[in-house]
């Protein structure tokens, strides 16, 4: 189990990352909101100090039984309340806008890191991806930014509040003289000394008792992420689970995972209980302690009633400032736990390139071909541990060529596809693609994004120039004309359509985008042989100038212009071998 504590290095790394919001394109908006919030907070503290002075004025009027002054004080009080309300609105608007904009910037940064350059795939392939990255990006990004704004607001208010009200304690409270065995001992600014000693003792005790809260919060957040991920997997695989009769097993597993959540929540509850001993013991004493220490000077006439009330209110404000870290320790712990989880994603993404170089023993070179051919030279694809998976020798596929590679399920076809597309960097050799060529892969398990059917067809290029007639024709070419009336419907198309229909839809997608290189990775396995041949013929007819490589488990019928290759298993690796036409 990873140990969690308030590590300044992690906090510093997160602040350097998240501080990018105040730099670059978003700097003007970020600083405008920050300065506006700081201005509103300063005004709020000024009004609070004014209210403290009003208390002295009002209670002194009561002590003198001065009804006219007390009446004026009531009118001034109404003005103070109106000012507080207006300033409070300004604080809410600037604070919440800052939180929303900051989190939006951070989420965009994290999504760019995780999805950019296919890092999400390579992190999973190297088993270095932090657990539940989607939860960290969606939820931990919130808990790493929103509370931090409130924490900084509290710290800012605590600093300026402590400064202002310590000055009041110093000037109004004055010094206090004790008689000890006939010796007079004078304590200068005794109310300030009292406030500082009381606040430091209470805060220090709180920090000591609550030091284990950080780890408890981090462990709870991790278990919440595991539980959410398990729920998502059950939903995404609902049919497979139901057909396998796995409902009871999944129920037991989910209950077990949530049991871990409950255990870790109970640990937090225990920590909160320990903290409450301190807060409930010291809290009620705060408004009483200054009155007890101011009473002797009031009885001797050195302080008026208004001054006693003013000192009591100032003492409370100083305690609020000193005990700020005590009152916010839980939130600080939650913030740090989420900041650490966010930085785990950032560190994993930032360190991916160095891990690619150190794992696998080498990197496949991706380059631009001298002509319009797809060229593979002495390629050896390895796994992340350096074990050879597949080797090709030298292959060359020109524009308009159609090659077919076949081999058993474990022969390494998908590894070859990943290497050609640049997803799989481990190995050695060289892959050259035509300059500016667009490569599209039709996988065995097609991906259909959420949204309309039209969106699924034009994915991943929503700005495609394909017109309505071209989209309708593409559907007709793959035998999906019946879906034309549903182009604007929003559904879970990955669940509405059968596997064969999804594969046909991905072929229609290729017909719409017209790439330069087409790779079919067992892309038509859900269709019968006649349907496969018809769709491949349509691809060749419509996209005759494209290079097309199809991979499957079985050899295809030989035809003119078809180059055939077999994956021969040799130990743990496979070798791509060119074949002469085989007898059918």
pLDDT band at 106 (very low <50, low <70, confident <90, very high): very high
CA–CA separation, 581 vs 560, rounded Å?
10
Q: What's the token pair of residue 145?
A: 């930014």
Query: Does residue 571 carry a pLDDT above 70?
Result: no
What's the pLDDT band for 18 if we cut at 50, 70, 90? Answer: very high
Res 95 pLDDT > 90 = yes
Q: What is the arrangement of strands in the sheet containing 562-570, beginning at the earlier edge strand?
A: 365-368, 427-433, 374-382, 388-397, 573-578, 562-570, 402-406, 547-552, 517-521, 439-442
Q: Would the pLDDT of 294 be above 60?
A: yes
- For the chain, give the percent of residues with pLDDT over 70: 91
Beta bridge partners of 442: 520
The per-residue pLDDT for range 162-176, each reduced to its tens digit, is 788 888 888 887 787
Mean pLDDT of all residues in 285-291: 79
Q: What is the mean pLDDT of residues 146-173?
A: 84
335-355 residues labelled b (16+ CB within 10 A) or e (exposed)? bbbbbbbbbbbbebbeebeee
pLDDT of residue 130: 86
Q: Please report the pLDDT score of residue 561 as a whole number.
A: 63
| 582 pLDDT above the threshold of 50 | no
Instruction: Say yes or no to pLDDT of 583 above 50.
Output: no
Average of per-residue pLDDT values in the chain: 83
- Give the 3-state secondary structure percentages of the chain, helix then strand then coil, rounded to 5: 65, 15, 25
Three-state DSSP state, 419: helix
> CA nearest 241: which of 251, 229, 226?
251
User: What SS3 state is found at 444?
Assistant: coil
Per-residue pLDDT reduced to its tens digit, 205-262: 777 777 677 678 778 878 887 888 888 888 878 767 887 788 888 888 899 999 989 9
Q: Return the number of other C-beta atoms located less than 10 Å from residue 252's C-beta.
A: 10
User: DSSP character for 266?
Assistant: H
Q: In this structure, what DSSP letter does residue 140 have?
A: I
Determine the Cα–Cα distance for residues 371 and 410; give it in Å rounded to an integer.
33
Does residue 579 have a pLDDT over 60? Answer: no
**Residue whose token pair is 């507080």:** 84
pLDDT tier at 3 (50, 70, 90 boundaries)?
A: very low
CA distance linking residue 518 with residue 273, whole number of Å = 63
Write out pLDDT tens, residues 509-548. Answer: 999 999 999 999 888 888 888 888 888 888 888 888 899 9
Q: What is the pTM of this model?
A: 0.69
Torsion angles phi and psi, residue 106, rounded to 5: -65, -45
Assess contact for 205 and 274: CB atoms under 8 A. Answer: no
| pLDDT band at 580; cut points 50, 70, 90 | very low
Q: How far is CA 567 from the centre of its chain?
A: 42
The span from the first CA to the last CA of the chain, in angstroms, equals: 59
Q: Which residue has the higher pLDDT, 310 or 99?
A: 99
Strand partners, 577: 566
What is the mean predicted confidence (pLDDT) over 480-485? 92
Question: Could you tell me the domains of the chain?
Answer: 8-352 (1.20.1560.10), 365-578 (3.40.50.300)
């Amino acid at each position: 189990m990873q140990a969690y504590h308030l590590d300044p290095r992690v906090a510093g790394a997160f602040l350097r990352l998240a501080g990018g919001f105040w730099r670059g394109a978003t700097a003007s908006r970020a600083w405008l909101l920050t300065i506006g919030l700081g201005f509103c907070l300063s005004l709020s503290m000024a009004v609070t100090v004014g209210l403290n002075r009003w208390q002295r004025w009002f209670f002194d009027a009561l002590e003198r039984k001065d009804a006219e002054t007390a009446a004026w004080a009531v009118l001034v009080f109404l003005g103070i309340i109106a000012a507080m309300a207006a300033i409070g609105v300004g604080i809410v608007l600037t604070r919440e806008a800052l939180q929303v904009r900051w989190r939006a910037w951070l989420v965009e940064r994290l999504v760019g890191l995780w999805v950019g350059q296919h890092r999400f795939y390579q992190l999973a392939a190297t088993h270095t991806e932090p657990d539940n990255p989607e939860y960290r990006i969606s939820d931990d990004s919130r808990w790493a930014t929103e509370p931090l704004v409130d924490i900084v607001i509290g710290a800012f208010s605590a600093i300026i509040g402590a400064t202002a009200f310590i000055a009041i304690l110093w000037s109004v409270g004055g010094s206090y003289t004790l008689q000890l065995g006939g010796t007079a001992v004078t304590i200068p600014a005794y109310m300030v000394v009292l406030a500082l000693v009381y606040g430091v003792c209470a805060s220090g005790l709180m920090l000591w008792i609550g030091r284990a809260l950080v780890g408890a919060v981090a462990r709870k957040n991790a278990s919440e992420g595991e539980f959410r991920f398990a729920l998502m997997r059950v939903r995404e695989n609902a049919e497979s689970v139901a057909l396998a009769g796995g409902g009871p097993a999944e129920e037991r597993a989910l209950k077990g995972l949530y049991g871990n959540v409950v255990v870790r929540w109970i640990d937090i509850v225990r920590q909160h209980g320990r903290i409450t001993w301190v807060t409930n013991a010291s809290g009620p004493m705060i408004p009483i302690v200054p009155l007890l220490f101011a009473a002797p000077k009031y009885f001797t006439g050195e302080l008026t009633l208004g001054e006693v009330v003013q000192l009591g209110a100032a003492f409370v404000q100083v305690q609020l400032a000193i005990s700020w870290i005590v009152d916010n320790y839980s939130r600080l712990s939650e913030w740090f736990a989420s900041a650490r989880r966010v930085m785990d994603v950032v560190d994993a993404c930032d360190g991916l390139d160095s891990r690619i170089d150190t794992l696998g023993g080498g990197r496949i070179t991706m380059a631009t071909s001298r002509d319009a051919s797809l060229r593979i030279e002495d390629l050896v694809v390895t796994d992340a541990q350096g074990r050879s998976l597949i080797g090709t020798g030298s292959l060359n596929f020109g524009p308009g060529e159609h090659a077919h590679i076949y081999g058993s399920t474990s022969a390494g076809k998908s590894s070859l596809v990943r290497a050609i597309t640049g997803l799989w960097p481990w190995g050695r050799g060289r892959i050259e693609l035509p300059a500016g060529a667009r490569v599209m892969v039709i996988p065995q398990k097609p991906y259909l994004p959420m949204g309309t059917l039209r969106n699924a067809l034009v994915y991943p290029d929503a700005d495609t120039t394909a017109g309505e007639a071209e989209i309708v024709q593409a559907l007709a070419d793959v035998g999906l004309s019946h879906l034309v009336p549903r182009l604007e419907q929003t559904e879970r198309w990955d669940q509405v359509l059968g596997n064969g229909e999804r594969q046909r839809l991905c072929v229609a997608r290729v017909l719409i985008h017209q790439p330069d290189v087409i790779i079919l990775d067992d892309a038509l396995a859900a269709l019968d042989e006649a349907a496969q041949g018809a769709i491949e013929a349509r691809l060749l007819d419509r996209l005759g100038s494209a290079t097309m490589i199809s991979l499957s488990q079985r050899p295809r019928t030989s035809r003119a212009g078809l180059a055939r290759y077999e994956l021969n298993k040799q130990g743990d690796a496979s070798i791509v071998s060119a074949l002469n036409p085989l007898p059918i």
